[in-house]
Chain A
Amino acid sequence: MVENRPLLTFFSHLALIVGISFIALPVWLAFVVSTQEASALFAGQVPLWPGEHFIENYSSILFEGEKNSGAPPILLMITNSLVMAVCVAVGKITISIISAYAIVYFQFPFRQAIFWMIFMTLMLPVEVRILPTFEVIAQLGMLNSYAGLTIPLIASATATFLFRQFYMTIPDEMIEAARMDGAGPIRFFVDILLPLSRTNIAALFVILFIFGWNQYLWPLLVTTDASYYTVVMGIQRMMAVPDSDPIWHYVMATAILGMIPPVIVVVTMQKLFVKGLIETEK
């Protein structure tokens, strides 16, 4: 905007400030509550400024867990969530990048049919096929394991589709030039296609990491052993303690801790993420 219009500046800032507080206030409240004593919250009023029990609350929840609800230490749950989110993201990207390569660059019978079959799995997220998937995982003895947590979530078409679309925008001359240079299919994939997909991979990693991190229903079903609990389901378990008031200060501390890793991932990969979404390097 070239002209100087103070009123417009004022209102646009106001809109931004309202928007930010709308998102930030609950986070702030969660943080405030997580630093209070349990008794401070039963008065029915939510304090607005942090209390004095920050270190105490966080260290106990991080390393000891909440005994009454049978929740393991948060550190363990965060590790589980991390393993799950990273496995889901890496697994999905690996599988889809390879399958998209096959679909775009190789002529084989029923190529289109196979693509549409992969595409159709878009309509079948875990929630829809939860019973049969659970049955399969149970039969394979994969309950209470990282494999059981991640493998059913890895199978999906979104990423395959995305990479297929990206590969189709790469000019044919690129592979022809590589063939003239003497590169075989694997060399072309590793030397040319992977580096070109770098930003796409990063963008997808961020999205899929958060997708994996936020999984709730599936971990709830396949884990009965506390040592495989993830943070997101852990919060729910802490809130639903029978015959006792919810221990809000611990729940909120868990929520705050559970928020940190996705934030770190988004912030560190933000540049690549935006690049991957808006710009194609060709």
Chain B
Amino acid sequence: MGSPAVVVKDLYVKYAVSVEWILKGLSLNVNRGEMLILMGPSGCGKSTLLYVIAGLIPWVVPGEVDGEVSVEGLNVTDLGYSKLAGVVGIVYQNPEMQVITRSVKEELAMVPENLGLPKDEVVSRVEWVADALDLHRYLDRDPQSLSGGEKQLIAIASVLTMKPRVLLLDEPTSMLDHKGTSLVLEVVSQLKREHGLTIIAAEHRVEWAVEVADRIAVMHEGRIVLIGEPQDVFSRVDEIEKYGVRPPGVSEVVYCLRRKSIEIPVPVRLKEAVEVFRL
């Protein structure tokens, strides 16, 4: 995995309107090319952590940040989001508010245009992302005619045109239907598989998370309470349920059997469950 792309040390964060700290002494290292999935109940601080890493707090969202956050060696709390172009990109929950223009081509060109890049570079980046995510069939379409999943896909592509080294995804499927969710998750998996991006995602879909994540971090009340490989984290069913995270369905079933004194290993993936039940 190499050296850390993201380093968070003893981070305390609160919004201007908060009385208490939202993040309380959180520390985290994410290696280059690693995919870390943040899980935890609403309000545990997942989005806040992503906003700090993206340099949005306190630069766009007023708040107080104490501690160290660096991305690719850059101190983001000192530099702010505007100095992180090409370093960090963030995709939000709501696809409707992330697609701004009236043509997909214009949407994809927006970020490099805003960065003031030369015209041929803007065009080359649009072509690159269209090739990478197979978006050519969408280029001349009006984004308003696309489904929620397709819009989210365009939002991800739009962020990728700045060629970020770290991609942050703030619950990108929470407002999508099943089809849209599959579309987006497939693209995110592809980005990790084929482009080696460092990805930090807040996401609830555990079955997907166990397949693609290198590590899972469970957050609770502003802290990371569990972190490790999906197998390690999700096999601790009692513990993660206590923190408001639903384990994969297969793990839950096997855990129920274990409670009835049937001693079998806890699988986290369907294929592992098949193997377990063959025994």
Q: A and B: partners?
A: no
- Enumerate chain B interface residues (CB-CB to A < 8 A): none
